[in-house]
Structure 1
Amino acid sequence: MATTTTTDGRNGEGEQKRREKGGFKTMPFILGNDICDRFATAGFGANLITYLTQQLHLPLVEASNLLTNFGGTSSLTTILGALAADSFAGRFWTIIAGSVFYQLGMLGLVVSALLPSLRPSPCSAPPGGPACQRASGLQLTVLYLSLLCTAFGAGGLRPCVVMFGTDQFDHELGEQQQKKVTAEAAKVVAERKRRYFNLYFFMMGVAALLALTVVVYIQDNVGWGWGFGIPAIAMFVSIVVFVIGYPLYVMLKPGGSPFTRLAQVAAAAFKKRNVVVPEDTGMLYQDKELDVLISTNGRLLHTNQLTFLDRAAIVTPGDISVSGQPDLWRLSTVHRVEELKSIVRMLPIWSAGIMLATIESHNGTFIIIQAGSMDRHITRHFEIPPATMSIFGTAAFLVSLALYDRAFVPLARRVTGLHSGITYFQRMGIGLAIHILGVATAALVETKRRDAAADHGLLDNPAAVIPLSVFWLVPQFAVHGIAGAFSSVGHMEFLYDQAPESMRSTAAALFWLASSFGNYLGTVLVTVVQRTTRARGNDWLQDNINRGRIDNYYWLVTCLMVLNLGYYLICFRFYTMKPLEMADEQDDHVGEYELSTLQKNDTGAGGVV
């Protein structure tokens, strides 16, 4: 009797401690870390094209390709971060490790900016010209090593930060499900997570807005030592703030390498490629105890797509040992098979985000150079730095996010009857369409800028200021900002909701992996366009942008974006939502219901059925 009482007391104490963790009370620490982190990364990267061309004297296309390659590598390393977080380290420690690497990279850039020996001699001639001595091999090596450290740091931060925030709400769903509460509880948690996603992106925008004004101004008018030093200090503060909140965090245990499980399913299915799949799916292998750590919010149910993979769940002689343990390279549970199916089904819609990253990769290169050639005076004695023009895109993004929940969702709810107003599929599609308008606007404005240069005889004087206000660039920044409030948030929501529970960090990594491929695609596109047009004697992308035809490049990207939107709509038409088991409302048993069609039209329950 005493033993039972003691056990109950300990269980009650543990339950009380779990309730004290997580929720919105952790947001000041997580978002505080994110704000400082975003301030640091935005201040570090927004004006880097200017540093490369004016301080290191790299040609425009080389500097642009260096930045897009760096952006691609930073996003590609997210796979390593996601693997570490989901396999053994957990998201908290992966964030800490990533922050340290990023800090080291930023300190390397600070040293590079402060020591004259790590930069070529100043030059007043146009960047990339024969009169300017470009950075030496040693100077570029220091730059590359610093960028590589920040790339590895980004790999630990990007797939984990936003998902660590959602972990603070996921435990509420787990508690509700243990009490046999229905999918209504899941809808409440999903609504909190949707608000969190909007709040997260909003706060990141505020931090970027601050960096694009304060840090960029310091870089252009005070010096690059302070310009890189302030973001480095902000990164250090972000680490401290994040660590302070340690006692309040819900930290989910890693469920093992998701990539190993995916490989096991593929291997088992291949080994049994000649085995006939049974018509009764109930004969496929299930093991709740085996899947307990990777299905705390419910197991994935069987779907009728990609049935070849179902062979991995067919029990054949030799699959299960005498002790009852399955050989996971020969036999997988239905839940594990459906994990792989979910990832494969997501890939087509995920890939539509690659073109978004391609166009965004050039917002920090070509447009900044264009802004530098225009009249940037706000008053007679004050000029706005070229990189600060990005604040108009960030401001439009912030305003759009604020109005989305307060104005757009209530209006859309009246029309659609959906609690979320529109689904994340529709949100992403709207964003893709608006991005097309943004690129088309950029092409029209560049035509006007180039015509102004021709009218004033400045085509062969790239260093001259064209008498055309830089604020002609504001519309394209604003349109891209509005589009991002739809496409970026919708893309992240889709990946988070449709990814298997144990692969949430991997889902975030997919978001950044699309950015990686988009940046690399941007490099390929710029290189191909330059070589092709140069061979024809009309180089679109040359150091003298007044003689170049960046407007034609923008029109090419506009056409590609139209094709990308059509591709996305086709992928959406054939997409099947993941089905997830939930507790039945009336009974204690688990009800298995497939509501894929309903969920495709209303994601308010977060994809839970």
Structure 2
Amino acid sequence: MYFYRLFNSAELKTEGDTRSDGSIAKLWRLCTVQQLEGLKTLVRIFPIWSTGIFLSIPVEMRGSMTILQALTMDRHLGPHFKIPTGSMVVIPTISAVISLTLIDRFLCPLWLKLSRQSLTPLERVGVGHILNSLSMIVSAIVESKRLKIAHHLKYQPDSTVPMLVFWLFPPLVLGGIAEEFHFPGQIAFYYQEFPVSLRSTAIAIASVTIGIAYYLSTAMVDLIKRVTGWLPDDINYGRPDNVYWMQAVVGVLNFGYYLVCT
């Protein structure tokens, strides 16, 4: 590969690159083998790392959209308690914590017993891609049902759509399960591929993916509002379901890109 041959030139010593005691005189021209191998690793995993960004963008967008949906729905739990809209974003976290235990304690050992081999980090990430796309499809179906009820009843501003907020739970739970496949899988993959000197940054690399996705999801929402009428101030007069369908399509395409990269 051309880039690797180019990187290898950084190891070649020329006159003036080192001092008389053997230390490197020009750090910007000469690298150690360890530094070069670390750079090669980063370049090699970059395509797979980029798929994590496209995977996380829909997840971050759904967090905001779920709150907007919950505000228009029936959030009563009994006659005296109303579920706070902000608590909806906790559902994926609870699902992730529970599913992490089930996956590590039951699913992975069962898979090992049946297939005689354990799930690789890349296989775990792939399962996360599939489940995340499925969760977006379920979100789109639920939102289509909510919009249908709102339009059928000639929805009035500030009124409540007679649909229980619990309809939002299935896609959120599925999203939490997906997260516990792809996020630990990413960390395990980076830790496995990085040289010893970079293994401590495996978690940081995965976290950077989420950070970038937060910013890009905000930009994506703004772009959708400018270009389409899917996300007006009152979502009952928009098409949030189309946003979810779009995210599902992007998820499928991203999964195809992931398969090519792996």
Interval of TM-score (by shorter of Structure 1 and Structure 2):
over 0.9
Matches within 5 A, 1:260-299: none
1:377 maps onto 2:67 in alignment: no
Matches within 5 A, 1:26-425: 306-327=4-25, 328-418=27-117, 421-425=118-122
Deviations 1:524-566 (A, max 9, x none): 2222221112xxxxx1111111101100111111111111101
Q: TM-score scaled by structure 1?
A: 0.41
- Code of the residue aligned with 2:179 in structure 1: it is G
Matches within 5 A, 1:499-510: 499-504=194-199, 506-510=201-205
1:443 maps onto 2:133 in alignment: no
- Code of the residue aligned with 1:324 in structure 2: it is G
- 1:512 — aligned with what? 207
- Provide the secondary structure at the position in 1 that maps to 2:78: coil
Decide whether the 8 Å contact of 2:143 with 2:241 is kept in 1. yes
Deviations 1:485-509 (A, max 9, x none): 1011111222233233333454433
Q: Percent identity?
A: 39
- 1:496 — aligned with what? 191
For 2:28 and 2:90, locate their aligned partners in 1 and report how far apart those are by CA, in whole Å: 52
- 1:239 — aligned with what? none
Q: 2:244 aligns with which of 554, 561, 568?
A: 554
Aligned-pair distance for 1:463? Answer: 1.2
For 2:232 and 2:28, locate their aligned partners in 1 and report how far apart those are by CA, in whole Å: 54
For 1:560 and 1:544, locate their aligned partners in 2 and report how far apart those are by CA, in whole Å: 25
- 2:180 — aligned with what? 485
Decide whether the 8 Å contact of 1:373 with 1:462 is kept in 2. no
For 1:320 and 1:546, locate their aligned partners in 2 and report how far apart those are by CA, in whole Å: 69
- Code of the residue aligned with 1:494 in structure 2: it is F
Aligned-pair distance for 1:320? Answer: 2.2
Decide whether the 8 Å contact of 2:230 with 2:238 is kept in 1. yes
For 1:329 and 1:466, locate their aligned partners in 2 and report how far apart those are by CA, in whole Å: 63
Question: What is the aligned length?
Answer: 261
- Provide the secondary structure at the position in 1 that maps to 2:260: helix
Deviations 1:304-352 (A, max 9, x none): 9822211111222222221222233332222221111011111111111
Deviations 1:184-229 (A, max 9, x none): xxxxxxxxxxxxxxxxxxxxxxxxxxxxxxxxxxxxxxxxxxxxxx
Aligned-pair distance for 1:456? Answer: 1.5
- Code of the residue aligned with 2:144 in structure 1: it is T
- Provide the secondary structure at the position in 2 that maps to 1:450: helix
Distance 1:506 1:398, change over 3 A: closer
Aligned-pair distance for 1:389? Answer: 2.5
Aligned-pair distance for 1:380? Answer: 1.2
Q: TM-score scaled by structure 2?
A: 0.93
- 1:212 — aligned with what? none
Point out the structure with the larger helix share: 2
Decide whether the 8 Å contact of 1:350 with 1:495 is kept in 2. no
- Code of the residue aligned with 1:503 in structure 2: it is L
- Provide the secondary structure at the position in 2 that maps to 1:453: helix
- Provide the secondary structure at the position in 2 that maps to 1:468: strand
- Code of the residue aligned with 2:150 in structure 1: it is A
Alpha-carbon RMSD:
1.9
Decide whether the 8 Å contact of 1:416 with 1:422 is kept in 2. no
Distance 1:445 1:570, change over 3 A: same
1:473 maps onto 2:168 in alignment: yes
Deviations 1:5-53 (A, max 9, x none): xxxxxxxxxxxxxxxxxxxxxxxxxxxxxxxxxxxxxxxxxxxxxxxxx
- Provide the secondary structure at the position in 1 that maps to 2:236: coil
Deviations 1:261-318 (A, max 9, x none): xxxxxxxxxxxxxxxxxxxxxxxxxxxxxxxxxxxxxxxxxx9982221111122222
- Provide the secondary structure at the position in 2 that maps to 1:359: helix
Q: 2:126 aligns with which of 429, 443, 447?
A: 429
- 1:272 — aligned with what? none
Aligned-pair distance for 1:443? Answer: 0.7
- 1:531 — aligned with what? 226
- 1:191 — aligned with what? none
Aligned-pair distance for 1:371? Answer: 0.8
Unaligned runs of 5+ in 1: 1-302, 534-538, 573-609
For 1:402 and 1:333, locate their aligned partners in 2 and report how far apart those are by CA, in whole Å: 42
For 1:304 and 1:508, locate their aligned partners in 2 and report how far apart those are by CA, in whole Å: 30
- Code of the residue aligned with 2:21 in structure 1: it is S
- Provide the secondary structure at the position in 2 that maps to 1:352: helix
Unaligned runs of 5+ in 2: none
Decide whether the 8 Å contact of 1:364 with 1:387 is kept in 2. no
- Code of the residue aligned with 1:384 in structure 2: it is I
Which segment drifts farther, 388-397 or 351-360?
A: 388-397
For 1:330 and 1:372, locate their aligned partners in 2 and report how far apart those are by CA, in whole Å: 58
Distance 1:414 1:312, change over 3 A: same
For 1:475 and 1:544, locate their aligned partners in 2 and report how far apart those are by CA, in whole Å: 24
Aligned-pair distance for 1:431? Answer: 0.3
- Provide the secondary structure at the position in 1 that maps to 2:162: strand
For 1:317 and 1:531, locate their aligned partners in 2 and report how far apart those are by CA, in whole Å: 58
- Code of the residue aligned with 1:525 in structure 2: it is M
Which segment drifts farther, 422-431 or 403-412?
A: 403-412
Greater than 4 Å deviation, 4+ residue runs: none
